[in-house]
Structure 1
């Protein structure tokens, strides 16, 4: 053991720019797929003052194994893998690198929206199989259509600007958003389900909004709606979505997050032509990797500096 304070990263690496900020710490990596038992053992061995969360979950057992723990810092914006109630009870701060991956995730949401509206994946497969569907295929034009955004934080607002630039009408629901630009019309959820031609999810997962998109809410949408989810898989009742896609109530879905990750194989979504899938990589770009690492490191330093002030 060195004399330096320990910091555990629940992953196998951290951007060099982030490590440069953490030069005073002994940085310990938990690996790419850390289980709770692994994290508990590492905490008992190193008694970290901070944990940077990339993969896996951090619950009460991990916190109790690290009596010196002062801050749990998320390498990204979603903190649903951290037991925030347990942290609060133990006086441990939970921070997120808010906005660090906003550009990356918003771009992924746009890619999925366009893939759904323009049948990119299906037409590509048909072309590679030697077909030419010009006479029989019509794409959806997004210009003039209404997009409903659930969640208007850094990612949601960035995506809203992209949609506005394409000539879409933007409505949004977020009880916490303030000072919204004039290009976003704030509405309640009932209005959002009713008026949207496409819906994109950009909110954190909470106990209150789990399965927010379900059989009832999908039935309240326009027939032929497009659904995009680059947020958290738990926001969507996957069985209800599959039924809605098969019935045509949902024209297409573009999904980057799932109820269980990695997605089990076989999965009911596999082979469904109107469901476009990506493996939760919305925030995974070289730039976002640096931004999230630096953001997470700065949050650690800020909390620890305040504790010593």
Structure 2
């Protein structure tokens, strides 16, 4: 073991740029799909001073198996897979790589919004099958439409800027956001549901907002609304969304996150032509992989170096 201790990575790899920052530590990988018993066993064996969370959940049992643990650093911006109450009770800091994947996720949200508005997937399939639907197909023009964003952090604000550049009116809801740019009009959720032609979710998952986009919220939306979710699947009542798509209340939905991941198969969304699916890869680009790894490594060092200086 290195003199500075071990760092457990709940994944199979870490960017070389991040590893260079952590060269004085022993790096232990948990693999691509670690389960709690795996993480507990690795913690007992290596007693890490830090955990960098890529996949899987880190709860009290994992923390208790690592007496030297000082920081849990998320390889990304969402910390809902970490039991923050348990960490706080044990004096363990939780850090996130805020903004490291903002460009990647905002681009994925725009890709899904455009795919929904322009029927990209359906028209591609029709063309490959030998059809030419020019005389019968009408796409949605986003210019002049209203988009409602729930969550105005680094990702939400970047997406808002893209929408504004396309000539869309931008509504936003985020009780914690400060100093918003002038093209975002802050509204309550009821107004956002009622006035938006398209809705995109960019907020963290909390006990308070779990299932926020439910049957009542969807019914309050404009008929034919477009729904995009690149945040967390738990924000959406999946059964209610499926019903709203089938009824036409929701014209199309583009989803990059799901209530259970990996998405169970068979899943009711599979085979639905107006639900576009991607496997939670919004933040998975070559650039974001490096950015998130480096940010996660720096967060580890900030806590450990800070403790050493304070000692």
- TM-score normalised by L of structure 1: 0.99
Deviation at 1:308, TM superposition (A): 1.6
Residue aligning to 1:194: 194
Q: Would you say 1:10 and 2:40 are equivalent positions?
A: no
Residue aligning to 2:245: 245
Deviations along 1:82-126, whole A, 9 cap, x unmatched? 000000000000000000000000000000000000000000000
Deviation at 1:3, TM superposition (A): 3.5
| 1:100-115 paired onto structure 2 within 5 Å | 100-115=100-115
Residue aligning to 2:162: 162
Deviation at 1:32, TM superposition (A): 0.5
The answer to whether the 8 A contact 2:97-2:295 is kept is yes
Residue aligning to 2:217: 217
Residue aligning to 2:46: 46
Following TM superposition, where does structure 1 have runs of at least 4 consecutive aligned residues deviating by more than 3 angstroms?
1-4
| 1:126-275 paired onto structure 2 within 5 Å | 126-275=126-275
Distance 2:57 2:142 in 1: 38
Deviation at 1:182, TM superposition (A): 0.2
Deviations along 1:148-207, whole A, 9 cap, x unmatched? 000000000000000000000000000000000001000000000000000000000001
Deviation at 1:307, TM superposition (A): 1.2
Q: Matched residue pairs, number?
A: 309
Residue aligning to 2:35: 35
Structure 1 unmatched ranges of 5 or more: none
Deviations along 1:206-238, whole A, 9 cap, x unmatched? 011000100000000000000000000000000
Residue aligning to 1:56: 56
Deviations along 1:240-296, whole A, 9 cap, x unmatched? 000000000000000000001111111100111000000000000000000000000
Look up the SS of the partner of 2:241 in the other structure. Answer: helix
Distance 2:10 2:263 in 1: 20
Look up the SS of the partner of 1:231 in the other structure. Answer: coil
Look up the SS of the partner of 2:185 in the other structure. Answer: strand
Distance 2:103 2:2 in 1: 38
Residue aligning to 1:291: 291
Distance 1:20 1:270 in 2: 42
Distance 2:305 2:223 in 1: 53
| 1:298-309 paired onto structure 2 within 5 Å | 298-309=298-309
Look up the SS of the partner of 1:159 in the other structure. Answer: helix
Residue aligning to 1:20: 20
| 1:89-108 paired onto structure 2 within 5 Å | 89-108=89-108
Deviation at 1:306, TM superposition (A): 1.4
Residue aligning to 1:85: 85
Look up the SS of the partner of 1:302 in the other structure. Answer: helix
Look up the SS of the partner of 1:254 in the other structure. Answer: strand
Distance 1:44 1:295 in 2: 26
- TM-score normalised by L of structure 2: 0.99
Q: Would you say 1:117 and 2:90 are equivalent positions?
A: no
Distance 1:160 1:3 in 2: 46
Distance 2:3 2:267 in 1: 49
Deviation at 1:2, TM superposition (A): 4.3
Residue aligning to 1:66: 66
Distance 1:301 1:294 in 2: 11
Q: How large is the RMSD of aligned CA atoms in angstroms?
A: 0.6
Structure 2 unmatched ranges of 5 or more: none
Distance 2:85 2:250 in 1: 36
Distance 1:273 1:32 in 2: 31
Deviation at 1:4, TM superposition (A): 3.7
Distance 1:4 1:226 in 2: 50
Distance 2:123 2:199 in 1: 23
